């Protein structure tokens, strides 16, 4: 029975990821989750008490996977500059990934304080990864620089998400050039 519940929960999270990817948090409703999974709406409430609870669980499950991908890319890089480039590029590569798309939708939405706190903590973990590389480059305010750098990444993510203007590769190249050279280049 426990295995069946785990499968149902996994199916609900998968459905939630798809709904978020397709229509953002507005699309994430219990009737839609019930329809996608073939469960009764009342069954959905047995697993999650609210939309925020679904979002919090997705954060807990998906953010660490995403962060690990970024961290692995950074570990393969030799120099501080290469680590920063890997940090930017890996996040932007992940925009096309369904799991990441759900994370992007969650990050962009209006959520209750609990979910927002989980997202902030997850983003904080990401920022921490880059602080050391910025310190190694001689930044006197590496944490501030890391937050500003992440702001550039977030802006590039939104630009890619729009899917209308430049190719994702052009956006990634521009973002990397900007963060590595500052705005002087």
What is the arithmetic mean of pLDDT over 4-25? 87
Q: What is the pTM of this model?
A: 0.78
Cα-based distances in Å from 91 to 39, 49, 99, 134, 154 = 34, 31, 12, 17, 9
What is the arithmetic mean of pLDDT over 96-116? 67
The answer to whether position 80 is within a domain reads yes
Domain extent, residue 152, equals: 58-184
pLDDT value, residue 185: 46
95 and 161 belong to one structural domain: yes
The answer to whether position 52 is within a domain reads no
> Of 62-76, 116-130, 159-173, where does mean pLDDT reach its minimum?
116-130
pLDDT value, residue 33: 95
- Whether the per-residue pLDDT at 105 is higher than 80: the answer is no
> Of 37-41, 45-49, 106-110, 157-161, where does mean pLDDT reach its minimum?
106-110
């Amino acid at each position: 029975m426990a295995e069946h519940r785990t499968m149902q929960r996994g199916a609900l999270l998968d459905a939630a990821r798809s709904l978020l990817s397709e229509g953002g948090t507005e699309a994430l409703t219990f009737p839609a989750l019930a329809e996608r999974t073939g469960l009764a709406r009342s069954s959905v409430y047995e697993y999650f008490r609210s939309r925020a609870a679904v979002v919090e669980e997705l954060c807990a499950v998906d953010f660490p996977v995403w962060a690990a991908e970024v961290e692995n890319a950074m570990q393969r890089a030799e120099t501080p500059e290469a680590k920063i480039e890997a940090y930017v590029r890996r996040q932007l590569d992940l925009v096309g990934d369904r799991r990441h798309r759900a994370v992007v939708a969650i990050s962009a939405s209006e959520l209750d304080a609990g979910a927002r706190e989980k997202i902030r903590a997850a983003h904080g973990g990401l920022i921490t990864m880059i602080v050391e590389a910025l310190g190694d480059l001689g930044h006197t305010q590496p944490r501030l620089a890391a937050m500003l750098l992440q702001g550039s990444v977030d802006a590039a993510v939104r630009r890619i998400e729009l899917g209308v203007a430049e190719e994702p590769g052009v956006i990634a190249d521009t973002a990397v050039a900007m963060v590595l050279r500052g705005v002087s280049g």
